[in-house]
Amino acid sequence: MTHRLILIRHAKSAWDTPAPSDHARPLNKRGRRSAQAIGKWLKDMDYVPDQVLSSSSLRTRETHELLGLEAPATFLERLYHASSEVMFQVLAEASTPTVLILGHNPGIAAFAHSLAKQPADHSRFDDYPTGATLILDFPILSWAELNWGCGKVRDFVVPRELLGE
């Protein structure tokens, strides 16, 4: 049996906002379109998670809502600007075979690079832009068995490709 991880960086957020803090920044118009496109792609490709673990920020909450997935979501303060080590700890506690983690750079990109056996063959994998989505498969029976560098890249996409931009 394998376990699957879906790693998504939140969609594009608004900088010209009266939000009282970085944590409270909302998505912008392009970010909302991008999140919907990623959600449709996940469903079309049958990359549907059983569980969502997300940063507690407004932009990750909005991204999650616009993905339109049925899976239950847990919003964790410790995933807000989390390091790859923190994400690893959170994932090791997951209870379902297909998990989606929704987070922020630079942590999400570092986590993706550290988990993949080989990097995704994509020009945007290194900088992991907003909305970037990685699908990784692991030959493990539970997340507690997770090790660095053993994930097989199944797919990688950025919203611009799905929106034809």
- Residue 147 in this model has a pLDDT that exceeds 90: yes
Give residues with Cβ within 8 angstroms of 161, minimum separation 6: none
Q: Is 165 exposed, middle or buried (0-12, 13-18, 19+ CB in 10 A)?
A: exposed
Asked whether the predicted pLDDT for residue 165 surpasses 80, the reply is: no
CATH number reported for the structural domain that contains residue 109 in this entry: 3.40.50.1240
CB crowding 98-132: b at 16 or more within 10 Å, else e: bbbbbbbbebbbbbbbebbeeebebeebeebebbb
pLDDT tens track for 94-128: 999 999 999 999 999 999 999 999 999 999 999 99
Q: Can you give the pLDDT at residue 17?
A: 78
15: containing domain:
3-163
Average pLDDT over residues 38-52: 98
Number of domains observed in the structure of the chain:
1
Q: Kindly tell me if the per-residue pLDDT of 57 is higher than 80.
A: yes
Q: What is the average pLDDT score of the chain?
A: 95
pLDDT in the model for residue 15: 81
